[in-house]
């Protein structure tokens, strides 16, 4: 028997353009339409210590859903212990031409080529400042801020790339519980070139230095998000670099450009075209990358597992492989507003 959300998704949402469906669903979440009785039993607190912070629970919402920090607390009300906003760039940008978001229903996957569409660091920073002032000392989710390169900034000009990221840090770090540098989206030309250690290390060191200059009353933890498409040796090189420069954590993994093993027809895949693939097809590789990282860094860095986590078994496997925190996005789309609490409850029962 199908769950009510499955009927709604199959009968309504799956028939709507994916980007429009996202906008409508997000508007409903912000309006509190999914908050009735917290969608089931209230989660018992099971705090998790990571990145020098205390998280309400182990599961967070990955960057990409709330790009502009407009629904943090509404999303947390569904059961997420942390919300990662962004990716935010130094300058506002519209992203890539539409259509740019696609479903592969048979694979429980999504392909996006959004292109870091967002309001820019200055506007998002003001929004975060207003939220902080309004909430004062009220408890809430941990808020991560994911930052990336503005599209027009050439990736081969590392000085310009650093300056662009420093602008984001200036506006966003004061309101971030932790920062993430995203060099792994496939939808900004040249961005993944920054994953090369010789470019990545100076960028992360500059972000670290600027964050320490901007926020003087605490240390803002810094994380890097990497792609599943890195070769194993490159994953290990990033791990070594992260330890060497004193990074706080690594998020594994972002979306993939691979289309191997999909159930979708070749014609459908060709029609969808380029973009980052997320969802069930990432499960195995993201788990492999996490294991590689854990074997290299041990307990020295916080590891955030993301990519293809759909079931409680997926979540437990990621934790068993060494993840300190988990994130989801695509499963939230396919499974609905009950999904975060189901995952957290399932993990906490262990």
Annotated binding residues for substrate = 67, 112-116, 182, 187, 254-255
Residue 29: in which H helix or E strand, if any? Answer: helix 18-30
Binding residues for FMN: 63-67, 87, 146, 182, 225, 253, 279, 308, 329-330
Write down how long the chain is.
Answer: 350
Q: Which residues of 239-253 are buried (b: 16+ CB within 10 A; e: fewer)?
A: bebbeeeebbbbbbb
Nearest CA to 129 among 72, 174, 81, 168?
A: 174
Helix, strand counts (H, E) of the chain: 12, 13
Among candidate residues 185, 258, 265, 286, the one labeled active-site is 185
Please say if 185 is a catalytic residue: yes
Give the integer Cα–Cα distance in Å for 16 and 89. 28
Could you tell me which residues are beta bridge partners of residue 327? 60, 306
SS3 323: coil
Q: What is the DSSP string of 118-130?
A: B--HHHHHHHHHH
Kindly give the pairing relationship between strand 48-50 and strand 82-89.
Answer: unpaired
Q: Which residues of 136-163 are buried (b: 16+ CB within 10 A; e: fewer)?
A: eeeebbbbbbbbbbbbebebeebeebbe
Binding residues: 63-67, 87, 112-116, 146, 182, 187, 225, 253-255, 279, 308, 329-330
Nearest CA to 273 among 63, 96, 153?
A: 96
Q: Is residue 19 within 8 Å of residue 286, measured between CB atoms?
A: no
What amino acid positions are annotated as catalytic residues? 185
């Amino acid at each position: 028997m199908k769950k009510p959300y499955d009927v709604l998704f199959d009968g309504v949402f799956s028939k709507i353009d994916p980007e429009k469906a996202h906008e409508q669903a997000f508007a409903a979440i912000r309006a509190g339409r999914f908050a009735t009785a917290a969608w089931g039993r209230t989660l018992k607190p099971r705090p998790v210590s990571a990145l020098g912070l205390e998280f309400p629970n182990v599961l967070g919402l990955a960057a990409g859903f709330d790009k502009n920090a407009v629904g943090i607390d509404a999303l947390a009300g569904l059961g997420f212990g942390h919300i990662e906003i962004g990716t935010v760039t130094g300058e506002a940008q519209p992203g890539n031409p539409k259509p740019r978001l696609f479903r592969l229903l048979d694979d429980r996957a999504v392909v996006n080529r959004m292109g870091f569409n967002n309001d820019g660091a200055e506007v998002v920073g003001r929004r975060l400042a207003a939220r902080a002032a309004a909430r004062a000392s009220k408890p809430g989710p941990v808020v991560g801020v994911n930052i990336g390169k503005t599209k027009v900034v050439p990736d081969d000009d590392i000085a310009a790339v650093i300056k662009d990221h420093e602008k984001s840090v200036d506006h966003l770090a004061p309101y971030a519980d932790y920062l993430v540098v995203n060099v792994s989206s496939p939808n900004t030309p040249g961005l993944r070139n920054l994953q090369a250690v010789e470019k990545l290390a100076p960028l992360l060191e500059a972000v670290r230095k600027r964050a320490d200059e901007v926020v003087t009353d605490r240390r803002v933890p810094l994380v890097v998000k990497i792609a599943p498409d890195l070769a194993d040796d490159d994953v290990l090189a990033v791990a070594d670099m992260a330890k060497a420069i004193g990074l706080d954590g690594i998020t594994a993994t972002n979306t993939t450009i691979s289309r191997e093993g999909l159930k979708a027809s070749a014609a459908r895949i060709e029609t969808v075209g380029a973009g980052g693939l997320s969802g069930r097809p990432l499960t195995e590789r993201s788990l492999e990358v996490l294991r590689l990282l854990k074997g290299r860094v041990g307990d020295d860095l916080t590891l955030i597992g993301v990519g293809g986590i759909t079931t409680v078994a997926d979540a437990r496997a990621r934790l068993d492989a060494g993840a300190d925190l988990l994130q989801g996005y695509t499963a939230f789309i396919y499974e609905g507003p009950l999904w975060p609490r189901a995952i957290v409850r399932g993990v906490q029962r262990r």
